[in-house]
Amino acid sequence: MLGDLGFSTLVIIFISLVVSITIHEAMHAFTAHWLGDDTAHREGRISLNPLRHVDPFSTIVLPLITLVLFKVPLLAAKPVPFNPNRVKYEEYGAGLVGIAGPLTNAFLALLASGFVHLFSGALASGVIEVFVIFAQINVGLFVFNMIPIPPLDGSRLLYAFAPESLQGIMTQLEQFGIIIVFGLVIAFHGFINIIININQSILKFLF
């Protein structure tokens, strides 16, 4: 997904990750509060302060490792706490909270690509590269977080429409889900290739 991983590129990737993850998590918290649950609000998660959302290992170290190994940043932030029983529209409200983060990343990628299209002839190539990388990072976050395996955000949307039998299985998987996802990434090249291909298709459309 990302080509040259020189020092300057890694700095841009790191800053893009922190900014994108912060906005992603803040939107989870904002959506939950908007739908009636103030759990995240009381814990200060409706915030653009990265320190409230970033986990040192899973948000910073892990994506740098996976960038070097797979050319794709895989990561997780501190989970935004919310009570699905307190949001409006029950399971559908919880689904909205879940997809608020990935949809925010999709919107940020769209904004960045629009900026590149509008100003590519007027700005230095280094500036354009920053926006291209920012778009790549946000597309990656969108695709990865929409994987419908608990506790990833896409699972909230699947849960809202799933039959009770599948909901029960998903609830049991929640505590092991992130291990399953990273196990798939490490053990099965086909899985990471699917993620890469989806990323590349979206980026091809945007650019």
Which structure tokens are listed for 107? 């919107």
Which structure tokens are listed for 21? 């993850």
Catalytic center residues = 25
In order of 32, 38, 44, 88, 131, the CA distances from 83 in angstroms are 8, 9, 15, 11, 36
Among 120, 132, 137, CA closest to 21: 137
109 phi/psi in degrees, rounded to 5: -65, -40
Write the single-letter amino acid at 140: G
Which structure tokens are listed for 29? 């918290």
